[in-house]
Structure 1
């Protein structure tokens, strides 16, 4: 009997892949994934059969992976965590009786947060600005409610050539509820080759270098910068 591992490979650097994820990939006969993410793990899949496709072929990848897993061990990979904008949900929706195991990974907001400090220490949320799966009006509603609720906000897929203005429009929504000195971090290629960071405030924020490989983290009303680190206090020092 075969098996399908749904693997979150983390941000892309092999040092940040979980031991369980690496073991699942090593155990697998076949690796299925988006071609860009396949490149992240090339060094550990040299002897494997690889099936890779481009963007927009998510359903086809999942159907193929489930089919192959009936009599072989297969890993379908997602960057970050497979259950956060990854393949886990679609696999479970399409699954019939296949043997499936979901293996978590480090998602982009956690990877990016670790690079700039500790911005996610209190209640926080992830919001994707991609409107391929979600209407833009609903995305803006979510940004507004999260801003009003004082959540730290991590924006995934913040800017693309087809959506050049969404990030600015959503930052304008956030500005209605946050002070101008609220810290904002832009982390590109977190924990992998090409990593870069920029720290702004809401007042000084510029999106010139933001792209689909970036995560934008906006602090809450208590967030601040100390010695170059982006910190959101949890409240441990209140009574000290």
Structure 2
């Protein structure tokens, strides 16, 4: 069988596609990906065999390519980083194709951390963007906020099933129902990062109630406090 690559192409702008990922894509024969992801790399995939997929028909596309892959190179691009919030798809690719090579990309999580000036080593990163139950993740979010951590959170868009839909408005209602003072909690919501359509909402969690955000959103609760090395002089002073 040919070579199969799962690659991260960054949060949206072609400028965030790494050189190693560009090279792999240029050398491949077949590309299977979502519309938004393919848009990011459209200049690199010209002339390739391209399969644009949705959640509903991705399985059909993989199965269609499998028997005629031969010694060709197949690339499945993922928005952001393959290793974050994509494990369900990656696991299925391994089941179908066997061994695959994973090449990381720049995640939206890294970008929002930089923009909001929230250090990742003092934050909890939580993704609700999964099909499995998220009740444990909701509790993890509560605990992180209570413990004073910043939280970088990927919400879950699922408008066709309201009970699974957990976007910023639902997050605000959930926190309020669990006793949080959402009027005093500061929050950022970043949409369509690094693209010309990028927007940033800044306000309180209470302001999120009733507001609609796109599927390409990341929520940041910033509770970081400055703590420089000057607070730890013992490292160099006798």
TM-score by length of 1: 0.78
Q: 1:169 aligns with which of 158, 170, 173?
A: 173
In the alignment, what sits opposite 2:50?
50
Go from structure 1 to structure 2 and tell me whether the alpha carbon gap of 1:33 and 1:124 turns closer, same or farther (over 3 Å shift): same
How is 1:93-108 mapped onto 2 (pairs within 5 angstroms)?
A: 93-96=95-98, 98=99, 100-108=100-108
Once the 2 structures are TM-superposed, how far is the Cα of residue 67 of structure 1 from its aligned partner? 4.9
Indicate the residue corresponding to 2:153 in structure 1: 155
Say if 1:202 and 1:16 are closer, same or farther in 2 by CA, change over 3 A. same
Aligned to 1:133: 131
Give the whole-Å Cα distance in 2 for the aligned partners of 1:185 and 1:138. 23
Instruction: Could you tell me which runs of 5 or more consecutive residues in structure 1 were left unpaired when the two chains were aligned.
Output: 224-231
Match status 1:239 vs 2:232: yes
The answer on whether the counterparts of 2:5 and 2:74 sit within 8 Å (CA) in structure 1 is yes
Structure 2 CA distance, aligned partners of 1:142 and 1:180?
21
Q: Distance in 1 between matches of 2:47 and 2:193?
A: 28
- Residue 143 of structure 1: how far off its partner (Å): 2.5
CA deviations on 1:21-66 (whole Å, 9 max, x unpaired) are 1111111011111122212211111111101111334444454565
- Shift in Å at residue 125 of structure 1? 1.4
Give the aligned CA root-mean-square deviation in angstroms.
2.9
TM-score by length of structure 2 reads 0.79
Higher alpha-carbon Rg: 2
Aligned equivalent of 2:195, options 192, 196, 212: 192
Please give the secondary structure, in 2, of the residue aligned with 1:197. Answer: strand
Q: How many residues align?
A: 225
**Structure 1 residues 180, 17: CA separation in 2 closer, same or farther (over 3 Å shift)?**
same
Structure with more of its chain in helix, by fraction: 2
